[in-house]
Each structure stands twice: as C-alpha cells, then as structure tokens.
Structure 1
Amino acid sequence: MSIHTLMRKLQDFEGPRLVPLGADFFAASFFLMKLLPARFMLERAAEQGHLRPGATICESSSGTFGLALAMLAAQYGYRLILVSDWALDRHLRRRLIELGAEVAIVDRPAPIGGLQQSRLDRLDVYLRDIPGSYWPSQYHNPDNPLSYGKVAEQLVDRVGLIDCLVGPVGSGGSMSGTSRYLRALFPDLHAIGVDTPNSVLFGQPSSKLDLSGLGGNILPGNVDHSQFDEVHWLTPAEVFHATHQLHRSHGLFMGPTSGAAYRVAEWWSRNNPGKTVVVLFPDEGHRYVETVYDQQWLETIAGWPGPFPANPVTVAAPTQPMASWSRFAWKRRTLDAVLATAGAGHGQAAG
C-alpha cells in the first residue's frame, strides 16, 4: 500500500460539520482542523522524498498541530519529537505521550520572539543532530494554506455563495488558504481575521500572550495579509466569554479560538443582514475543561467576569494599545503597507 493511500486513513476526520447558527450564518466546525494540513504536508514530503519511511518528524507546537502529527505518526510508523512550552495542556501532553510522541518542554523565552523562538532554537538542535529528520514547518510551509482548497470546495458545495469568511489566525494557513480559494469564485468575499492584543501577526508590539492557538510572537510566512479586509483583536477574557456563549447558545463545545471567531462573526452577521457568513471553528473544547470551562480558573483571568462590550472599537492603527475588542479596516494590504500608513516600521511588528 502506497504512503499516499495510507495517509488518507484519517481523512474522514479532516472536514468540518456545517452547523447553522442563524439566518445565512454557518459554522464550519472541525473535530481537529490541523489534521488536514498535517496529512497534506506529510504526504507531499513523502512523495518528494523529504520524508522517508520510519524517519523522525520534528516540530514546534503547543496545540492541535502537534496532536494531528502525533495521530498520523502513530498510525504510519514515524518517530515524532515535539518541542513545546508551559502552555501545553497536561491532558494533551499525556495524550501525545500515549500516542508515542517525545515531548520536549522549554521554559525560558528568547529575548526576541519569546517562547516561540525558544522552541525553534531547541528544534534546530534536533534537526541538526538527527539524520534524515523532517520539519513540517507549519508556519512557513506553503502546503499548509494549499491544503485548505479542500475546505473551500466543501463550503461552496454546501453553502453556495459566501459573502464573508471569519476565522482565527495562528499559523495563517486556514484563513489565508481558504479565502484565497474562495475568491477565485467570489471576488467580493469579505475576509475577517481574528487576533489578540500583543500578537505581532497584524502589527501589535510583541508581548506576553495568554491564548493558545491565537496570535503569536513570531510572524509566520503563511499569513497572507493581502487576503484580509478586516482584522479584530479580542482580549483573553472576551475570548473565553464568547466561548461560553457559543456553548450555551448553540451547544457547540469548542476551544477558545472558535469562541473568538464566533464573537466577531456573530457581530458581522447581525450588522449585515442578508449576507451569507461562514465562520471557522478549529477544534473542540475537551482539552480546555480545566481552564476555559472551569469557573475557578476563569476567576484568575484579568477582566473576568466582565462586563464585555457588544461591539468593537474601531482603531486608527493596528499598532496602538488595545484594552478591549478592537477592529481595523485592513483593506487587503500588505503588512508593510499598513504599518507605513500607521507610521511604524516592519521591524516593530516582527518583535
């Protein structure tokens, strides 16, 4: 059996369920979104001779991409080393180890780039010392956004015309890839990226992040800024509140990145009646039972229990401080173009 055939044994778990949330408002709700790009990247690497049978896969991850790699590596006989940090949920870590992954934890942030850069520095050591090792590089591998052509096709088949696509931005693959494919059919598609303050992805000065899977202290090459018409930033407390609202209002037990996207998509849908909106929900909420879904833990979060704004504040520049839900008209521009207008250089955003 070819590696191409083997890699597709988990493909039934890759696609989203389409859940109506309101009139002309749909959620593309994934069991584990990162299974799709992980399989696609490994499959392409095997076809191109970069990933040999039984080889070692090395990656930096504290979330669902690492889990997707662990599921695939266990099934197809690869060794997997994951470099992570303190944000790795203990239940997820236990599951990764059960799947056979070797998990290395870094505890000191790098002076520039924080824990993400510290993880990459440790990753470099493994890649250098292990012959034939392969790095999927989800932040920069063009096969990441390329894989989401499958999601775009499914959405068009099931929804038809889509006026607005909303989703969280981490590696950049899902939103950049899906919107790029959809625009081939719907040039007027309005794409909204969801980020968090202190994330460099859309120009905020780099600082400590308290949200797994959303934002980052290093700018991924797969974030195609020219795909975005609008960007929103939500604080952790706002994200967690929205995650609870999504669960209570629609019965969808999802992770906080889904809650963040839901808050923005519901607002846009409410303010644009008659427009068809699709929002991406990347993963389910099981690994957040002791955090996002635990009231005692929530009491430790700044800004909890609210009150929370019903609408975002429109900011003049993406570089300015954001104490609550904020939005900025990106207008499909590059990061350099936006920061030049804001009077800030690209170096500031790169952290």
Structure 2
Amino acid sequence: MDQHIAESIGRPDLIRLDDRLLCLRFETMKVVSALAAVRHLLDTGAVRRGDTLVDSSSGIYAHALALACHRHGMRCHIVGSATVDHTLSTQLAVLGATLERMEPCDDLKLDQKRRVERIHEILAERPEYHWMRQYHDDIHYLGYRAVAALIREAIGTDELTVVGGVGSGASTGALARYLREDSPGVELVGVQPFGSVTFGAGHVSDPEIIIAGIGSSIPFGNVDHASYDTLHWLSFDAALAGSVDLLRRHAVFAGLSSGAGYLAARWERTRSPRRTVLFIAADTGHRYVDSVYARHREAVAIDSLAPRPVTTRADLALPWCRMDWRRAPGDPMASGLPGRG
C-alpha cells in the first residue's frame, strides 16, 4: 500500500501498443525523480524536515517537487514560467507551495535564463534555502532505478530500444544507465525539439514552440551525451500529429512530448525488426487540450511523415531529422559530431 499519493502518481503503466511497440505511461513522470532526490537529501543530512526547497519550473517539475515536499514535510518555493496554468497554480497553493510566477515572455530562452537568475537572487537573500538544481544535478537520476527494474522484470532487456525526451537528462539518461548495468546493448534514442541547445540545434527555430520538458534553451549540466545512440529532432506540428494519432489509434491521452516520442519510436521499430521499442509518455494530455488536441483536424497523417537523415547539425531543418549519435560525448554546441565535420 502506498503511504502517499505521490508514490502512486509516480508509478508508470507499461502498455503494449503492438507486438514490438510499448508505451511507458506516467501521470507525472518527474514525481519519480523529485521523490527520490528529496529522500536522498534527507538521508544524507543535506537538508532537514521543515527546510525550504527551491527550483525553477515551467510546470511539471513544480507539481512533482510540491508533492515530494508534502510527502516529506518540507517547504517548497517555485520560480515558475508564465506557462504554469490556473489548475496547477491552484494545486500548488493548496499543497502549501509558494509560486513566484515570472512575467510572460515570448523568448523562451530568455524566460528560462531569467528564472535561473531569479533563483540566484533568492539564494543570496535566503542562503538557508536548498536549490534542487533539476537541470544540473544527477541526484535526479536516482528515482529511475526502480523504473528500470520494472522494465527489466516485465519485458526483459534483450534487443530493447528506449525512446524519450532528453530534457534534463534525468529520465532517459537514467533509465539507460540502470538498464545497461546488466544489459549494455540497450539502445537509447533521444527526442529533441528544434531550438534546443542540448545537442546543438539552437540555430533552428520552430515558429510554434520549443517543446517544454524535452529540450533546453540553456545548457543543462546533467545530460550525459554519451548515453545516446540516436537523436530525433521534431517540430511542433510533427509532435501534434503524433499526439493525435496516439490518442486516436491507441486511446493514450498524453502530452506533446509523448507524441514526438511515439513518432520516433514507430520509426525505430521499422528500422530494427528484431528489437522491442519502448517510448516514454511523461505526462497526460490535459495541459494540451487547447494547444494540441483542439487542433486535431490540422494533424497530418503520420504515415506521410519521415525523418530526414543528417550527419551534421548544419543540415538540421523542420519538420523532422534523425542523426546517428553513436554515444559520442562531443561538444553539444558544435555543428557536427567529433570527426564527422
């Protein structure tokens, strides 16, 4: 029996969509990392019950950290993007978390930068606060060990490919790390939006949006670039088509990043007929009803979409590109892979 709702929310469902395509579906994925990170901080004495934990968030992590703080008797302060909606801000208030919402900003890179700068200002004013550093500290990997064990027990790891948003590196990177402890052949496919600097696509803008949660407009410190075998960059329109098809074909109501992962996973499955492909659906589709699902008539048929293969990031272009990354550490800001131009 769970001792707190956060434990239930953080436990994923493993859904078979066809014989070689699986969906690891979360209600709110980042609860997994937040719970384990806060527990570790308490166990190691880095924080004490009653202390205040602070971080920046565009939405999902704010909810996750508020739940983890509620579970462990901590205070929570969030510097939030304008994208934090009324439903979430109301939940945060009732949970006892304080939300400091930034002014709206059309430039997402500037928005993320301003939120981090505000964190530094808060720490200068209140040095007793503990910054969770979700973008920089691999303490957020810890919670995914249990998820890796669930995957290993349910489907095994032979000929397994994991697909999901790169984000801060703490979901896909962590799953690969733990699954490869006894199965180094597990392949990892990272999904990125155009405009994300993490793997050097900052020069390609998407007129719609940089997909929150799977990309970054500023460098992240806890992404292990050498974990990834393959990368897919997808536009908003492609991810929208994937999200709509995922709901229409499989009745899985999930977020925009899940639609992007679904498209990438379907492609990888066709390329590797012996491998099982598992993609991550990090959250539900409720936040995307107006921006994505209400536009379902605009969605193109996913069979009409295919990635453009690229070997250098100078060739990246909307709506969808794929690159063999080959676990290269590389310079994420370079135009191509080491030794490949």
Superposition TM-score, scaled by structure 1 size: 0.87
- Is the 8 Å Cα contact of residues 328 and 338 (structure 2) preserved in structure 1? no
The alpha carbon displacement at 1:341 in A equals 4.5
State the shift of 1:146 in Å: 2.9
CA distance in 2, matches of 1:292, 1:213: 16
Partner of 1:102: 98
* 1:8, distance to aligned residue in structure 2 (A): 6.5
2:173 aligned residue: 176
Question: For residues 15 and 104 of structure 1, what CA distance do their matches in structure 2 show?
Answer: 29
Contact 1:92/1:287, CA 8 A, preserved across alignment: no
How far residue 306 of structure 1 moved from its aligned partner, in angstroms, is 4.3
Query: 2:37·2:142 contact (CA, 8 Å) conserved in 1?
Result: no
Structure 1 CA distance for aligned equivalents of residues 318 and 78 of structure 2: 34
Q: Which runs of 5+ in 2 are unaligned?
A: none
The equivalent residue for 1:282 is 282
Moved more, 18-27 or 315-324: 315-324
TM-score, length basis structure 2 = 0.89
Q: Partners in 2 of 1:185 and 1:53 — Cα distance?
A: 36
* Match in the other structure for 1:211: 211
Q: Deviations over 1:250-295 (max 9, x none)?
A: 1111111111111110121133223111111111112222322223
Is 2:193 the partner of 1:196?
Answer: yes
Whole-angstrom distance in 1 between the partners of 2:212 and 2:107: 20
1: CA distance, partners of 2:338 / 2:194: 19
Residues 164-222 of structure 1 deviation map (CA, whole Å, 9 limit, x = unaligned): 11111111101111011112222222210000111001111255743221201112111
Q: Is the 8 A contact 1:312 1:326 kept in 2?
A: yes
Superposition RMSD in Å = 2.6
Do 1:7 and 1:43's aligned partners in 2 also have CA atoms closer than 8 Å? no
Distance 1:337 1:170, change over 3 A: closer
1:270 corresponds to which residue? 270
CA–CA distance in 2 between the matches of 1:319 and 1:218?
19
CA-CA distance at 1:140 after TM superposition: 1.3
Q: Which amino acid aligns with 1:95?
A: Q
User: 1-side partners of 2:332 and 2:131: how far apart?
Assistant: 31
Q: Secondary structure at the match of 1:60?
A: strand
Deviations 1:100-147 (A, max 9, x none): 222112237699952111100111111221242111111111211232
Aligned to 1:78: 74
* Helix, strand or coil at the partner of 1:336: coil
Residue identity matched to 1:229: D
Distance 1:214 1:90, change over 3 A: farther
**2:311 is matched by which residue type in structure 1?**
A
The 1:271/1:112 distance shift into structure 2, 3 A limit, reads closer
% of aligned pairs identical? 30
Name the aligned partner's letter for residue 86 of structure 1.
A
Instruction: Check if 1:119 corresponds to 2:115.
Output: yes
Q: Does 1:187 align with 2:173?
A: no
User: Which shifted more, 286-295 or 216-225?
Assistant: 286-295
Q: Deviations 1:276-319 (Å, cap 9, x if unpaired)? A: 11111111112222322223xx79xxxx5447642110012124
**1:6-17 aligned within 5 A:** 10-17=6-13
Query: Structure 1: 5+ residue runs without aligned partners?
Result: 1-5, 345-351
- Count the aligned residue pairs: 333
